[in-house]
Amino acid sequence: MEKEVLLSVKNLQQYFKLGKRELKAVDNVSFDIYKGEVFGLVGESGCGKTTTGRSIIRLYDITGGSVYYKGERICAGTRSYKDAIRKARKDYKENKISQTERDRIIAENRAEIKAAVADHNKWSRTQGKNQLTNEIQMIFQDPIASLDPRMTVRDIIAEGLIIRGIKDKAYIDEQVYKILETVGLVQEHASRYPHEFSGGQRQRIGIARAVIMNPELIIADEPISALDVSIQAQVINLLNDLSEKMGLTIMFIAHDLAVVKYFSTRIAVMYFGRIVELGTSDELFAHPFHPYTRSLLSAIPLPDPITEKSRKRIVYNPMMDHDYSKEEPTMREVYPGHYVLCNTEEFEKYRAEYENAAK
């Protein structure tokens, strides 16, 4: 039975202007998230994980690429189409293409720009915004900064229902109390303010605010990084239970591969704005191909002090580990379901490694 794709990201680009420079926070990222799965996005701080999540939920207007939700394009960027038009004009001036070919490329890309703008405007209107708010929710990294200090817990959690247009206060209170108990809090907490809670409790409030909307997809942006280790396990277990009970699809963003392995169905490893490896959780740990993935795995602490003492860190140096002077890397399927960013030479090497390991 073929899995249903809930969210599809195609060649996502998110660039920011820094004076005269341009920062490529996310550069041509593509992946699918299947309905009911937990998709892990992992990488070091600053690699573009959070920007990817925020771009999907339209907190940013994307620079290029497209994001499809249930088959409909909810985000569309025009950068790649404009670049194609500029390149066609340049190639024509340099006599690389004919005038007919230039006109064809320009017409096709102008049509794509028009369609992208139309899709963007459709989901920018009130009805489109409300549908996305109802069906896609985000849990933010900092549990105190993401909660309004002037609002009670009841008002914070109920805000989404009110925006949806629900006015029955008795119904709203019933739903708030119900979801508080679901996330491990009690009804008495509804009248308190965020500063009266611990970090773990505040994160539960953030989860309750997202879950009360009964969304299809939750983007969890490093929801445990600001919490103590013991509290991290509680929040992970809570998300796991909610995923099973409510049939949620979760995009779980984190920098700790050990946590992501426990929680995720598939994992994408991100480095400097690009996905370098993508595969199932078990396969990624069993057969890591990309040097950066191996570096991340080597950094995971081990509970055995004897083994830990002899553990050696693998240092990833892109200049030393790759030679892309002749051929640029692309995402390639080394074996079914396992993709790696590599050139032809590396691809052949990874294939040989996998075949030898399978013998």
- State residue 292's pLDDT score: 95
| Domain residue spans of the chain | 5-102+104-263, 287-358
Tell me how many helices (H) and strands (E) the chain has: 14, 12
- State residue 140's pLDDT score: 87
- State residue 1's pLDDT score: 59
Q: Measured between alpha carbons, how far is residue 219 from residues 19, 178, 248 in Å?
A: 31, 22, 11
Q: Which residues of the chain have pLDDT under 50?
A: none
Round the average pLDDT of the chain to a whole number and report it.
89
Residue-wise pLDDT tens digits, 167-197: 899 999 999 999 999 888 999 999 999 999 9
Query: Using CA atoms, how far apart are residues 158 and 160, in angstroms rounded to an integer?
Result: 6
Query: Using CA atoms, how far apart are residues 295 and 208, in angstroms rounded to an integer?
Result: 36
Q: Are strands 38-42 and 266-271 parallel, antiparallel or unpaired?
A: parallel
**HSE, side-chain direction, 13 A CA sphere, residue 137:** 21
Q: Which residues does 276 contact at the CB level (< 8 Å), separation at least 6?
A: 269, 270, 290, 292, 293, 340, 341
Residue-wise pLDDT tens digits, 223-255: 887 777 777 888 888 888 888 888 899 999 988
Nearest to 249 by CA among 216, 210, 296: 216
Q: How many CB atoms lie within 10 A of CB 183?
A: 24
Class of domain 5-102+104-263: alpha beta
Q: Is residue 340 a contact partner of residue 277, using CB atoms and an 8 Å limit?
A: yes
Q: Hey, what are 210's tokens?
A: 């997202």
Q: Which residues does 232 contact at the CB level (< 8 Å), separation at least 6?
A: 224, 259
